[in-house]
């Protein structure tokens, strides 16, 4: 169940980025990676 929850959270975060619901700094892939890392407290 934890794995399913983590997967759904990740998919929803990616959808949010692609729909433009968040402002990425810097824009592009680097901004997406940084946003996801901050969202899930992942060290990059």
Residues 1-44 have pLDDT tens digits of 888 988 888 888 888 878 878 777 777 888 888 888 887 887 75
> Contact 13/6 with Cβ under 8 angstroms?
no
Number of domains in the chain: 1
pLDDT at 30: 86
Contacts of 25 (CB under 8 A, 6+ apart): 31
44 lies in a domain? no
Query: How many CB atoms neighbour CB 41 within 10 A?
Result: 6
14 lies in a domain? yes
Residue 7 CA to residue 11 CA, distance in Å, equals 6
15 lies in a domain? yes
pLDDT at 13: 81
pLDDT at 44: 55
Q: Which domain holds residue 32?
A: 2-39
Residue 5 CA to residue 28 CA, distance in Å, equals 26
8 lies in a domain? yes
11 lies in a domain? yes
């Amino acid at each position: 169940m934890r794995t399913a929850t983590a997967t759904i959270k990740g998919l929803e975060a990616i959808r949010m980025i692609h729909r433009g619901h968040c402002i990425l700094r810097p824009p592009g892939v680097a901004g997406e990676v940084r946003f996801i890392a901050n969202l899930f407290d992942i060290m990059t």
